[in-house]
Amino acid sequence: MSRCRRACLTIALIAGMPLTASAATDFAACLDGIRDTALERDISGQTVDRLLTDVTPSERVIELDRRQPEFTTTLHDYLTTRVNRRRIERGRELLREHADLLGRIEREYGVPARYLVAFWGLESNFGRTTGDMSTVRSLATLACDRRRGDFFRSQLIAALQLVDDQTLSAGQLRGSWAGALGNFQFLPSIYRRHAVDADGDGRTDLWDSLPDAAESAANFLRARGWQPAERWGREVRLPDGFDYALAETERTVTSWREQGLRQANGAPLPAADLTARLIVPTGAEGPAFLVYPNFDVIMRWNPSRFYALSVGRLADRLIGAAPLHHPPPDHPALRFDTIEALQTALNKRGFDAGAVDGRLGPQTREAIRGFQTQQGMTGDGYPDPAVLAALGIDQSEG
């Protein structure tokens, strides 16, 4: 399918317009290609026909894909909605209620109970919102979209395999708009590789069997490199005059201690050879964190820093940790077009922000840091309102 015609399909879906004949033809052609791939993978023709016949693209799925919270929500708002009093209280109740099960899983897999409950809370609000959208329709829509088609094509094939090998029934394939399933929102490929029949009933049920769901989550985390004896990270206090060029660098906890970093409550950091990376996600006005290898494991579950911080913070709060000592600032959320304008302005001034893609990646942050230093600002690499104003960018536009 040509890029242009795929783009037309996407635009029609977002705008709520009826599909043009060519766009409908392109979607059908995309599905035909998926059918061929499925048959090549030895999925039965009966399964393929039953699940793919009469599938149509979903306008709602494209809409949701274009406004994922990782890209349009601030850390302040992200943490406020995900690590809130109600979720902390409910999580503590579930830790107590399922202590025996979670304790057994922790002993076997090395993943502490509080992290499993934190993932459970963030993924499905403890099973309350597992999603009720057609997994096949959602994945077909995304597989035939231009942005991440190859990835979602593989997930759709995995979903067909789950039905073909009788792991799931066709009726069970209902979940999130992105095709995630069950209490811990496993994508179909993860379901196939890591789901565990923990209750011994001969099925892997990630909706109605908490033993299956929780042990499967632990199995996935262990496979991704979870370190049993380590935490995810911690909030830290930076010394006065800190050089923010050290953000995103790694050194041992002992070395960070020698740089003047302390625990958030002012106590000294422990002397440890554990490697830690310093992140300052909202600049000098917000919290700073030392993150350990398990933070990267969390990001292999969901590659969003805000998500990983939320899992870690919720896990800590479940066992009595205090709120953040230095909460993130309540700045307006950055729009895609604002970030694009920022990147364009930096590039024009000779600060290489990379491709104008509307995303705040490492190269863009480094360009911001260079601009801030030139302007006599704190070089924290964060596009706060002062940086935008200095570049002549009005957040109210667009």
For residue 212, pLDDT over 90 is answered with yes
Has residue 276 been placed in a domain? no
Q: Which domain holds residue 386?
A: 336-390
Other Cβ atoms within 10 Å of 367 Cβ, number: 22
Has residue 383 been placed in a domain? yes
Domain boundary among the residues 222, 238, 259 is at 222
Q: Which long-range contacts (CB under 8 A, 24 or more apart) does 44-52 make?
A: 44/164, 47/160, 47/163, 47/164, 48/160, 50/163, 50/170, 51/136, 51/159, 51/160, 51/163, 51/170, 51/173, 52/136, 52/140, 52/160
* DSSP symbol at 268: B
Has residue 173 been placed in a domain? yes
Has residue 311 been placed in a domain? no
d(CA 183, CA 101): 16
Domain boundary among the residues 222, 249, 278 is at 222
Has residue 373 been placed in a domain? yes
Q: How many CA atoms lie within 13 A of 369 on its CB side?
A: 20
For residue 37, pLDDT over 90 is answered with yes
d(CA 61, CA 340): 24
Residue 1 has a pLDDT of: 45
Same domain, 37 and 173: yes
Same domain, 11 and 151: yes
Q: Which amino acid is at 212?
A: D
State the pLDDT confidence band at 21, using cuts at 50, 70 and 90. Answer: low
Has residue 101 been placed in a domain? no
Domain boundary among the residues 181, 201, 222 is at 222
Has residue 23 been placed in a domain? yes
SS3 of residue 176 by DSSP: coil
State the CATH number of the domain containing residue 144: 1.10.8.350
What is the pTM for the complete model shown? 0.90
Count of structural domains, the chain: 2
* Closest to 236 in 3D by CA, of 285, 287, 273, 284: 287
Each residue's pLDDT tens digit, 223-256: 999 999 899 999 999 999 999 999 999 999 999 9
Has residue 54 been placed in a domain? yes
Contact 1, 115 (CB under 8 A): no
Same domain, 195 and 340: no
Each residue's pLDDT tens digit, 185-210: 999 999 999 999 999 999 999 999 99
Each residue's pLDDT tens digit, 123-147: 999 999 999 999 999 999 999 988 8
Residue 15 has a pLDDT of: 46
250 DSSP β-pair partners = 277
State the pLDDT confidence band at 72, using cuts at 50, 70 and 90. Answer: low
